[in-house]
Amino acid sequence: MPSPSSSVTAPSRASIDLTESARAGWEAWLARRLERVTGPRGDLALVETRWLGPGESVDDETALAGYGPTAALTRMRRPSLDTGEDEYGYRVWDASSEAIREFDAIETFPFDAAWVLEAWFEPVDEQRTIPFEHLRDNGATRDLVVPGDITFSLVDDGRAREYTVAAFDDGGSLLVPFGDPTNRSDDPDLRSYPVGRFLVVQRLGGAADAGTPGPVLLDFNRAYIPPCGFSPHYNCPLPPAQNRLGVAVTAGERRVRSAA
């Protein structure tokens, strides 16, 4: 499988130890991912998302009618695409949902240390928003806060190609939704989730905190399938144009596999 770079230099003992440590960390991350997506409020547990009309209200008992004893309800709100005013809704989670019962595994690419890349975070002077399309908004966009840009290089056909991607603020973390040729690959062994994947930016030495420029780490082995890949009741942001990479990222999660 292609990697972002290659070398003919034999690895040192220290580099082998670092690689094995990174691999162990990746395996632990995968285990946490499985626990998270199959949990009672995990991605596979979401069985309904409903947004209420103006002035409409639904009590908990009515919202949960027809669901079993393992169902739970949470409330949410967001700005309306039409008016900008708050609109309210709820989600129903089922700890024994059909999706959980039928889930088998998250297929991944093999771990590859070459896909652990150092990048540079450059904050913007003022809080900036970028319009992101969302999967179920029929082409409409929602503005998400993008506190800065992340620049890194990938090797494509022997040449380094520089990318600058937008990372949005996800509860204090920097999250990069990205697309790459594996999303549309005809090769079933290379194909990944068609909508794109997410990657949490790892901060190095406090970089990327509170508008501070500095180095960050992009570990594409931890690229993951967004929630909408597990349940049709999520509405995920799609990668904007600048986040669509020309190099196949053969690292990270690929697809959700059902036991059926």
How far apart, in whole angstroms, are the C-alpha atoms of residue 210 and residue 148?
11
Comparing C-alpha atoms, which of 38, 58, 45 is closest to residue 94? 45
**Is 73 buried (19+), middle (13-18) or exposed (0-12) by CB count in 10 A?**
middle
Residues 194-223: b if buried by 16+ CB within 10 A, e if exposed:
ebbbbbbbbbeeebbeeeeeeebebbbbbb
Residue 14 scores a pLDDT above 50: no
Residue 208 scores a pLDDT above 70: no
Task: Write the pLDDT tens digit of every residue in 216-236.
Answer: 999 999 999 999 999 999 999
Which pLDDT score, from 0 to 100, does residue 3 have? 56
Comparing C-alpha atoms, which of 156, 148, 248 is closest to residue 201? 148
What is the DSSP secondary-structure string of 198-225?
EEEPEESTTTTSTT--EEEEEEGGG-B-
Which pLDDT score, from 0 to 100, does residue 138 have? 72
Please state the rounded mean pLDDT for residues 1-21: 53
Residue 34 scores a pLDDT above 80: yes
Look at 29-43, 121-135, 170-184 and tell me which has the smallest mean pLDDT: 121-135
Average pLDDT of the chain is: 88
Q: 147 and 141 in contact (C-beta within 8 Å)?
A: no
pLDDT class of 12 with cuts at 50, 70, 90: very low
Comparing C-alpha atoms, which of 191, 252, 250, 190 is closest to residue 226? 252
182-35-105-133 Cα dihedral, nearest 10 degrees = -30
**Element holding 101 (H helix, E strand):** helix 98-102
Which pLDDT score, from 0 to 100, does residue 18 have? 65
Instruction: Measure Cα distances from 191 to 100, 175, 197, 206, 211 in Å.
Output: 23, 22, 12, 35, 36
Highest-pLDDT range among 73-87, 130-144, 145-159, 245-259? 245-259
Give residue limits of the domains in the chain. 104-258
Look at 131-145, 224-238, 246-260 and tell me which has the smallest mean pLDDT: 131-145
Is the model more confident about 35 or about 85?
35
Matching residue, tokens 């739970």: 72
